[in-house]
Amino acid sequence: MEKTVYNPQKGRLETINIDFTDENTTWFDECEDSHGIFSITDLQGGILIKEADYTYPLYVYDIFRADIGHDHGRARALHRQYIDK
């Protein structure tokens, strides 16, 4: 499926092709509000972090779900590092 994502390394939106599966995605049920992390997905070359709202997912290079231990809090911290500056 085509998905528009925000790429902070390029500073712009871009469209990528991705399939969300149980093998490449971790979904979180503990979203505390609309800005909680809904899912993290491994891509070729990086990770896609999706909040539980209508913002674009964040695409970060050179880090994967295993690198952050599939952890909701570490995904939130990584998202803040790029978005909440």
Digit-coded pLDDT (tens) for 30-75: 766 656 899 999 998 999 999 988 999 999 999 999 999 999 999 9
What is the reported pTM? 0.90
The number of distinct structural domains making up the chain is 1
Q: How far is CA 7 from CA 10, 32, 49, 69, 82, in A?
A: 6, 25, 11, 22, 10
Residue 43, both tokens: 């891509």
Provide the residue range defining the domain that includes 14: 2-83
DSSP helix, strand, coil percent of the chain (3-state; round to 5): 20, 40, 45
| Residue 11 in this model has a pLDDT that exceeds 90 | yes
